[in-house]
């Protein structure tokens, strides 16, 4: 009998309360705002064979002590896949990491190195050389490590001409990395690698820029073919602004000890990303550096998952999709200046693609976002966004079949605003009460489209626009 996948709640995170006092920007001390501490895990269950750390380098001249270089390593070669930004100005680490994966056909990857403080984007050939040298510096640590060390390459061959390290960078665009400082710090980071929760959390902190808290999750799960084997999945991400991904999110990493070959890992990641990181928006901007990588080292054993259509593949898809949704939503929780966490759900659509386009358009609308900040139940702005969505199939939206509602997060009845094209008499007091909460769901029912048979749905998660968002981004470089 096939077993249902078991997804254990992310470790060490307190129950998310529906209301609290917001502290929008990170304090100048670098401390995590009290309102955000509940999102930071106090413990975790991390995949076997992976090590992590974060150290201080001083990539950004104004950084006088915050960790800004992360290193994550597998003790054995991994299968790997990644999705990258579709921005035409692709950062040097995006170009280099894609090349590494292509040259290795997604196999034999050992590490990811990430710096914050400088995006290494639009930096010409010099930037490409810098990104490549970061990867080679990590590769050199593998070759020089004594066999007795926990991160030895003992028994493993290494193609010295093709790097086994993925590279990521985040920060200000158009500036060169202080590459000498970074390269000299790589051996220090390598020697500090550990499997402890504290070191995983250090790595998550090291990739932050305007984030007010590190975004780290872990969980355990089982698969039908190996019910007695417990697998682990860990992930970290960063981002608070310049977020409307067209692949993943600003930066993200997933790690598992389940046996997943690269040919299975890529479609698995794509499926999950389309329903998570590609379904979040803070400000509608797509970064030059967006990268989400997934590494699987198989250290927990079990049967290799060679097809997503198998029982194991279906179970794994469910687990990874749910996990990436939870991880990506932390980015919205930390949206620059945000006071609202909003899910827009588009239902009874003739296709998933149409539903997602409509949800994305609503999530990007400045008028919708500012109305939510002002606690104004201006549902006409939502309907307007539905109506001007580009690229829909001809019969996707029928005004006479379209309905819009606010769904409270306390489980109470939805507040109907528009029913099959007819406006409702809105209880403004109840609307104000719903909008006073931090969490909100907007439901758009397309009524099945022109033929009435549409049953597809899609969700997007986004935040509001506040005065604080303008302040943060007006002062970003200074």
Catalytic site residues? 249
Q: Are 210 and 156 in contact (CB under 8 A)?
A: no
C-alpha to C-alpha distance for 254 and 320, rounded to whole angstroms? 9
C-alpha to C-alpha distance for 81 and 105, rounded to whole angstroms? 9
Residue 94 phi, psi dihedral angles, 5° rounding: -65, -50
Q: Are 55 and 189 in contact (CB under 8 A)?
A: yes
**Extended strands (E) in 103-157:** 107-118
Strands 291-296 and 415-419: unpaired
**b (16+ CB within 10 A) / e for 232-247:** bbbbbbbbbbbbbbeb
CA distances (Å), 341 to each of 246, 281, 437, 444, 464, in order?
20, 11, 9, 17, 8
Residue 259 phi, psi dihedral angles, 5° rounding: -85, 95
Nearest to 70 by CA among 196, 170, 171, 206: 206
Residues 6+ apart with CB under 8 A from 286: 85, 86, 87, 242, 244, 245, 246
Q: Are 59 and 171 in contact (CB under 8 A)?
A: yes
Strand partners, 292: 83, 252
Residues 6+ apart with CB under 8 A from 27: 33
**b (16+ CB within 10 A) / e for 85-116:** bebeebbbbbbbbbbbbeebebebbbbbbbbb
Write down the residue that tokens 């309360």 correspond to.
17
Backbone Cα Rg of the chain: 23
Which two tokens mark 359?
């949800």
Nearest to 358 by CA among 447, 239, 433: 447
Query: Which parts of 207-349 fold into alpha helices (H)?
Result: 262-274, 311-333
C-alpha to C-alpha distance for 38 and 424, rounded to whole angstroms? 38
Q: In the chain, count of helices (H) and strands (E)? A: 11, 15
């Amino acid at each position: 009998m096939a077993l249902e996948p078991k997804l254990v709640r992310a470790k060490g995170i307190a129950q998310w309360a529906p209301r609290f006092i917001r502290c929008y920007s990170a304090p100048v001390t670098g401390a995590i705002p009290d309102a955000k501490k509940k999102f930071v895990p106090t413990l975790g269950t991390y995949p076997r064979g992976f090590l992590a750390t974060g150290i201080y380098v001083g990539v950004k001249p104004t950084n006088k002590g915050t960790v800004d270089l992360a290193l994550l390593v597998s003790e054995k070669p991994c299968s790997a896949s990644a999705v990258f930004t579709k921005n035409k100005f692709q950062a040097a680490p995006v170009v280099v990491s894609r090349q590494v994966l292509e040259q290795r056909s997604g196999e034999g990857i050992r590490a990811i190195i990430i710096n914050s403080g400088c995006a290494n984007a639009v930096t010409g050939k010099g930037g490409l050389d810098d990104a490549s040298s970061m990867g080679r510096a990590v590769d050199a640590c593998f070759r020089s490590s004594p066999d007795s060390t926990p991160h030895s390459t003992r028994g493993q061959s290494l193609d010295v001409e093709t790097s086994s390290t993925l590279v990521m960078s985040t920060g200000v665009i158009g500036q060169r990395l202080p590459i000498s400082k970074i390269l000299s710090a790589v051996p220090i980071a390598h020697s500090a690698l550990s499997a402890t929760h504290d070191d995983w959390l250090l790595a998550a902190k090291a990739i932050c820029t305007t984030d007010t808290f590190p975004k780290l999750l872990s969980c355990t799960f089982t698969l039908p073919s190996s019910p007695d084997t417990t697998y682990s999945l860990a992930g970290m991400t960063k981002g608070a602004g310049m977020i409307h991904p067209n692949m993943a999110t600003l930066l993200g990493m997933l790690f598992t000890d389940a046996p997943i070959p690269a040919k299975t890992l890529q479609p698995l990641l794509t499926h999950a990303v389309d329903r998570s990181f590609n379904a979040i928006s803070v400000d509608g901007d797509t970064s030059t550096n967006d990268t989400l990588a997934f590494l699987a080292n198989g250290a927990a054993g079990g049967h290799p998952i060679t097809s997503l259509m198998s029982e194991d593949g279906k179970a794994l898809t469910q687990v990874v999709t749910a996990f990436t949704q939870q991880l990506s939503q932390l980015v919205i929780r930390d949206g620059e200046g945000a006071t609202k966490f909003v899910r827009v759900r588009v239902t009874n659509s003739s296709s998933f693609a149409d539903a997602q386009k409509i949800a994305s358009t609503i999530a990007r609308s400045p008028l919708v976002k500012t109305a939510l900040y002002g606690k104004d139940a201006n549902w006409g702005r939502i309907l307007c966004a539905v109506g001007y969505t580009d690229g829909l199939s001809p019969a996707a939206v029928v005004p006479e079949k379209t309905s819009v509602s606010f769904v409270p997060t306390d489980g109470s009845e939805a507040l109907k605003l528009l029913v099959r094209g007819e406006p409702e008499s809105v209880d403004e007091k109840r609307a104000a009460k719903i909008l006073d909460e931090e969490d909100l769901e907007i439901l758009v029912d397309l009524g099945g489209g022109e033929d009435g048979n549409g049953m597809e749905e899609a969700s997007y998660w986004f935040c509001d626009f506040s005065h604080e968002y303008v302040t943060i981004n007006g002062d970003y470089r200074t």
